[in-house]
């Protein structure tokens, strides 16, 4: 079956799931360890894009599985108004394993999604699990898995006996702005109070240039190590990539081209900067005159 589909998840979805998990209510008798919700997105050729999600209240106590359907439907219609090109494509669960209760949830979702989708045959419905329990052999990580359900059974028998959840490949897809936001949030990993401040362009340039210098030094030491009578084994692939870098840089940064680029644009930038500052000074002067 179409199990070569890739699930492209946007980072906002992950963060929403994590946030919902932290806010799960502890007051319903047995503390809920799981969160469940709907995934929204759109279908593409060969992949399913998941761009948004929201959590729904559900109850899993004593074999009595309840899902708040009205909430689900209302949220779907509300989200449809703001992002009309998104439709429900699946659901998520913050658990470490797929259990039999997932079958029932999945059936429910099949019903909801087939109703909501415009196509005649039922579109592939994704189950996304994010393991927030930090248990078992993945104690230090938070693995993300996606599945597609398919019926399975003994060939020749009347109907399908069981369902198999086929794992799918999960990848991170992001708009360019989202990548920038993620880079900024990673700074919060270093700070003690988990905070990050918006940085100015110059600081960012400083940090990136320092990083580039570090990488170049590492590459240089590697190349020298290989050259010194094979102290380190030379990897042909790395060598090819290095050559690619050097040739492309010498092609694109020919001295005359670079020189003319610098000369031309430097004047323009200085002029624009001057005009901008002049406008600002003018505004301030005008304010003084008017309010005097």
Partner 1 sequence: MSTAVTITAPSVKHILLDSLVVMKIVKHVDSELHAGISEVSGDACAGVLTGLVFLDNSRLEITNCFPTVRNEPVIDDDANAAQQYEEQKQQEMLDMLRKFRTMNIDYEIVGFYQSHQFGAGFSHDLVESMFDYQAMGPENVVLIYDPIKTRQGQLSLRAWRLSTAALDLASKNDWRPELVKAAGLTYQNMFEELPIIIKSSYLNNVLMSELALSKSYSSDKYSTRHFDLGSKKSLEKSVRAMMANVDELNKSIQSLTKYTIDKQRHDNMVFSLTQKRQQENESRQARGDPILPMDDIKRIKAPQLQTRNGLLDELLASFDTNALADFSKTVTSENITKLFIAEAVAEEKVAGTKDRTMSSVSSTR
Q: Per rule CB under 8 A, is residue 248 in the interface with partner 1?
A: no
Q: Which of 30, 122, 209, 248 binds partner 1 (CB under 8 A)?
A: 209
Site for partner 1 in 11-30 (CB under 8 A): 11-12, 14-16, 18-25
| CA-wise closest residue to 67 among 40, 37, 95 | 37
Q: Per rule CB under 8 A, is residue 181 in the interface with partner 1?
A: yes
* Piece of 99-107, 118-126, 196-204, 224-232 that binds partner 1 (CB under 8 A): 196-204
* Piece of 99-107, 222-230, 234-242, 253-261 that binds partner 1 (CB under 8 A): 253-261
Q: Which of 119, 141, 192, 228 binds partner 1 (CB under 8 A)?
A: 141
Q: Which of 34, 43, 57, 223 binds partner 1 (CB under 8 A)?
A: 57
* Piece of 78-86, 103-111, 152-160, 218-226 that binds partner 1 (CB under 8 A): 78-86
Query: Minimal distance in Å, beta carbon 206 to partner 1?
Result: 10
Alpha-carbon gap, residue 219 to 235, rounded angstroms: 13
Site for partner 1 in 93-122 (CB under 8 A): none
Q: Is 109 exposed, middle or buried (0-12, 13-18, 19+ CB in 10 A)?
A: buried
Alpha-carbon gap, residue 92 to 161, rounded angstroms: 24
One symbol per residue from 26 to 55: x for binding partner 1 (CB under 8 A), - otherwise; what is it?
-------------------------xx--x
């Amino acid at each position: 079956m179409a199990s070569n589909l890739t699930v492209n998840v946007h980072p906002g979805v992950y963060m929403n799931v994590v946030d919902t998990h932290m806010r799960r209510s502890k007051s319903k008798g047995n503390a809920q360890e799981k969160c469940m919700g709907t995934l929204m997105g759109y279908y593409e050729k060969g992949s399913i894009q998941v761009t948004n999600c929201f959590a729904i209240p559900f109850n899993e106590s004593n074999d009595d599985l309840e899902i708040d359907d009205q909430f689900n439907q209302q949220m779907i219609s509300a989200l449809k108004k703001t992002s009309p090109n998104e439709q429900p494509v699946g659901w998520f669960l913050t658990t470490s394993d797929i259990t039999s209760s997932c079958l029932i949830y999945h059936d429910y979702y099949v019903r909801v999604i087939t109703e909501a989708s415009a196509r005649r045959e039922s579109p592939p419905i994704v189950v996304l699990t994010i393991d927030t329990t930090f248990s078992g052999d993945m104690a230090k990580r938070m693995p993300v898995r996606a599945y597609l359900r398919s019926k399975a059974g003994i060939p020749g028998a009347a109907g399908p006996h069981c369902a198999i959840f086929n794992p799918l490949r999960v990848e991170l897809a992001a708009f360019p702005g989202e990548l920038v936001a993620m880079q900024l949030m990673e700074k919060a990993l270093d700070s003690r109070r988990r905070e990050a401040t918006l940085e100015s362009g110059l600081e960012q340039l400083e940090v990136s240039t320092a990083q580039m210098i570090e990488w170049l030094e590492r590459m240089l030491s590697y190349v020298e190590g290989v050259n010194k009578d094979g102290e380190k084994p030379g990897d042909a692939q790395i060598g090819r990539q290095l050559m690619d870098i050097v040739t492309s840089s010498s092609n694109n940064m020919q001295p005359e081209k670079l020189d003319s680029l610098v000369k031309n644009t430097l004047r323009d930038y200085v002029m624009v900067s001057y005009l901008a500052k002049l406008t600002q000074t003018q505004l301030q002067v005008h304010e003084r005159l008017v309010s005097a």
